[in-house]
């Protein structure tokens, strides 16, 4: 796990964009796992900007959505399929056959989740998974107490989540009570994970995830075991970290290892 602290939201997103761009330069058929919500919007805006400036091409990239509400169609303005289309896919040159979504209206939930896992495997696995984090430490819709080895599956939304969603649905009968989500085990198989957090309201969850014990009570804490998990936060989200100065020191000096060793060999 690497902790990267940036001054503000703009710089935080810029760091994630840089890492994705660097990975694409090495592997043009990159496989991305994509999250929704307010936090990753700046990342998608940065990637769109790279495409418009002809510095990045998405024609060979594949994309997998992290989660989806169960019971609403793709075209519903509150679906995550709609979110990704409006905020990212329609602005770059993804091929339709390279975009994979969880279906909010599957004929068979269990079969659909199994097939989604198979599609991820058939593409060679996810290279970079983008994540946000909930105030309670959840990643995807893997709420506290979720199995740390879970796979893509249906989850029941918490009462808090249902209440928070209520203002976005004119028809109260359409408010989702269930969702489909990649499991924690699925997420952990990604080669690189970029977890983004911004704002003071995320600082407690970030501290627990990074400096607390690994526990299903804080699902994001499992990322401590991932060899390429990068936790990218702004100053406010890093506000409760006890070892903040050390994380900054490590980040500032990580590229100097080769020079340090070369210098020692010449002496």
Q: Which residues are catalytic?
A: 67, 136, 138, 143
Give the torsion sign (CA, 239, 240, 241, 243): positive
Query: Strand 153-156 vs strand 67-69: parallel, antiparallel, or unpaired?
Result: unpaired
| 104 to 77, 88, 137, 179, 183: CA distances (angstroms) | 13, 19, 24, 8, 16
The residue among 193, 187, 149, 136 whose CA lies nearest residue 2 is 193
- How far is the C-alpha of 179 from the C-alpha of 70, rounded, in Å? 4
């Amino acid at each position: 796990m690497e902790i990267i602290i940036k001054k503000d939201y703009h710089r935080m997103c810029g760091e994630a964009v840089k890492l994705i761009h660097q990975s694409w330069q090495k592997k043009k058929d990159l496989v991305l796992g994509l999250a929704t919500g307010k936090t990753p919007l700046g990342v998608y805006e940065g990637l769109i900007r790279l495409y418009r400036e002809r510095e990045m091409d998405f024609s060979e990239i594949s994309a997998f959505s992290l989660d989806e509400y169960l019971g609403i169609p793709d075209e519903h303005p509150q679906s995550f399929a709609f979110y990704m289309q409006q905020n990212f896919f329609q602005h770059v040159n993804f091929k339709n056959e390279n975009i994979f979504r969880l279906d909010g209206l599957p004929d068979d939930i269990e079969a659909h989740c199994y097939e989604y896992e198979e599609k991820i495997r058939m593409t060679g696995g996810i290279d970079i998974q983008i994540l946000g984090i909930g105030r309670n430490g959840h990643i995807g819709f893997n709420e506290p107490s979720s199995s740390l080895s879970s796979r893509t599956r249906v989850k029941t939304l918490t009462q808090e989540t249902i209440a928070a969603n209520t203002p976005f649905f004119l028809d109260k009968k359409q408010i989702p009570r269930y969702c489909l989500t990649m499991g924690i085990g699925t997420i952990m198989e990604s080669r690189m994970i970029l977890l983004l957090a911004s704002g003071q309201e995320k600082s407690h969850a970030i501290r627990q995830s990074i400096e607390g014990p690994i526990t299903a009570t804080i699902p994001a804490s499992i990322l401590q075991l991932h060899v390429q998990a990068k936790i990218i936060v702004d100053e406010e989200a890093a506000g409760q970290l006890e070892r903040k100065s050390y994380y900054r020191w490590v980040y500032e000096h990580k590229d100097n290892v080769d020079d340090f060793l070369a210098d020692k060999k010449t002496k």
